[in-house]
Amino acid sequence: MRRSATMDGGNISNPAPLVYIFSALYKSSMRFLLYHLIAAFVLGTHACHAFTPLQQSARRITTLHAMDDDTFIMVNGLPGPMATAAAEACLRKGLKLAPVAMTGPDVEPSTISVFDTVTGKKQDVKLIPSKETEKLQASIAGLKTSGNLLAIDYTHPSAVNSNAQFYVKEKIPFVMGTTGGDRDQLMKDVQGHFCVIAPNMGKQIVAMQAALEDLATKFPGAFDGYKLSVTESHQKTKADTSGTAKAVIESIEKLASDDNFTIEDIKMIRDDDEAVAFGVPPDAIKGHAFHTYTLTSADGSVSFQLQHNVAGRTIYAEGTADAVKFLSKQIHSGEPRVFNMIDVLEKGAME
């Protein structure tokens, strides 16, 4: 008989000693999935040592230097929801927005106001379609000569590669949150350039990814023979398969090599009713990211579940502003290189 247990709200049903189901629900007050991961392994044996590097790095909190007054952040992808959330978070965290940004072919050239309701800070931003390269170059030339210009990219999978090439050509350090595109090409194009690239900027999700990587390093193949299934639900406007799911699956595959699993096997939910049935709160239908990964033993008697469920976009927006501050610090003191969000977290640069 298949047995299962849930830890998804204190309702532990049918607890089974060999079965742990990890879940975290990020709503207005977030519960840390990492806590569940650590707790689950503390229930076990010495396996919690797998988390040592993360615990050590968490203690290495360093004070970020103040951003230069003349550093401007160009938030590309406005007026899209993620670029808007990131721009507001930048204002909230004391960063200055550039008065220009790249926008998509679906947006009329215009000027919009970014307004952070928490601090009351506001910045007008002129939107220029990304294909108008010369206009863009002219509009950022002044910003580049008068100080530092960094970019945030929350655009579209179809724009990932061309935008990254633009930043490299224009020598603009950037934080790329946009998913999709040709990721191998992206990594080739940006070598030797200051940038942070990650499919997920949420601090606790990055911590979970780091913990999974540590686990896979310490216990490679521990779940061999287990079958993987993955379901992710996002707002119906999302263009691509979850980039986070793809990254998490890469780590899971080091723990449980399921030769038959491909990215096409990820079940994507982009329908409002299905999303609600999957547990998405109705008020988060237009902005959510619910992920469930299930590992089931060959005979079906043991199953593990990992969830990260996000309502809204604040968690990524805050992490993005932290990544910008981190990158700005690197530009002043480090060698050009490509960072991911685990690097940012490990340097204690996430607030």
Ligand X SMILES: O=C(O)C1=N[C@H](C(=O)O)C[C@H](O)C1
286 is catalytic: no
Q: How far is the CB of 25 from ligand NAI (least distance, A)?
A: 17
Q: How far is the CB of 52 from ligand NAI (least distance, A)?
A: 26
Closest to ligand X by CB, 242 vs 296, is 242
Structure tokens at 283: 């008020």
Residue 178 interacts with ligand NAI (CB under 6 A): yes or no: yes
Catalytic residue, from 238, 246, 288, 325: name it: 238
Q: Contact positions toward ligand X, by CB under 6 A? A: 179, 199-200, 234, 238, 242-244, 289
Contact with ligand NAI (CB under 6 A) among 19, 25, 67, 82: 82
Closest to ligand NAI by CB, 199 vs 226, is 199
Residue 185 interacts with ligand NAI (CB under 6 A): yes or no: no
Catalytic residue, from 36, 93, 234, 291: name it: 234
The contact mask relative to ligand NAI for 186-205 (x = CB under 6 A, - = no) is ------------xxxx----
Binding positions for ligand NAI, 308-327, rule CB under 6 A: 313, 316
Q: Please give the order of strands across the beta sheet that includes 100-103.
A: 100-103, 122-129, 110-115
Q: How far is the CB of 167 from ligand NAI (least distance, A)?
A: 12
131 is catalytic: no
CB 11 within 8 A of CB 4: no
Choices 2-10, 76-84, 143-151, 330-338 (CB under 6 A): range interacting with ligand NAI = 76-84
Pick from ligand X, ligand NAI, none: which does 80 bind, CB < 5 to 8 A by kind?
ligand NAI
Pick from ligand NAI, ligand X, none: which does 159 bind, CB < 5 to 8 A by kind?
ligand NAI
Cβ-proximal residues to 178 (8 Å cutoff; 6+ apart), any chain = 77, 153, 154, 155, 156, 157, 159, 160, 163
Separation of alpha carbons 86 and 314, rounded Å:
8
Q: What angle do CA 211, 318, 308 make, to 5 degrees?
A: 40
- Reported as half-sphere exposure (CB side, CA atoms, 13 A), residue 66 has a value of 4
Q: How far is the CB of 246 from ligand X (least distance, A)?
A: 8
Q: Which of 180, 116, 119, 118 is nearest to 154 (CA)?
A: 180
Binding positions for ligand NAI, 95-114, rule CB under 6 A: 102-104, 106-107
Residue 296 interacts with ligand NAI (CB under 6 A): yes or no: no
Task: Give Cα separations from 184 to 125, 191, 288 (angstroms).
Answer: 32, 11, 27
Closest to ligand NAI by CB, 173 vs 199, is 199
Ramachandran region, residue 77 (left: φ > 0; alpha: ψ -120 to 50; beta: rest): left
Closest to ligand X by CB, 238 vs 325, is 238
Contact with ligand NAI (CB under 6 A) among 157, 279, 281, 336: 157
Q: How far is the CB of 94 from ligand X (least distance, A)?
A: 25
- Catalytic residue list: 234, 238
Residues of the shown chain interacting with ligand NAI in the complex, contacts defined by CB under 6 A: 76-77, 79-83, 102-104, 106-107, 130, 154-157, 159, 163, 177-180, 198-201, 237, 239, 243, 313, 316
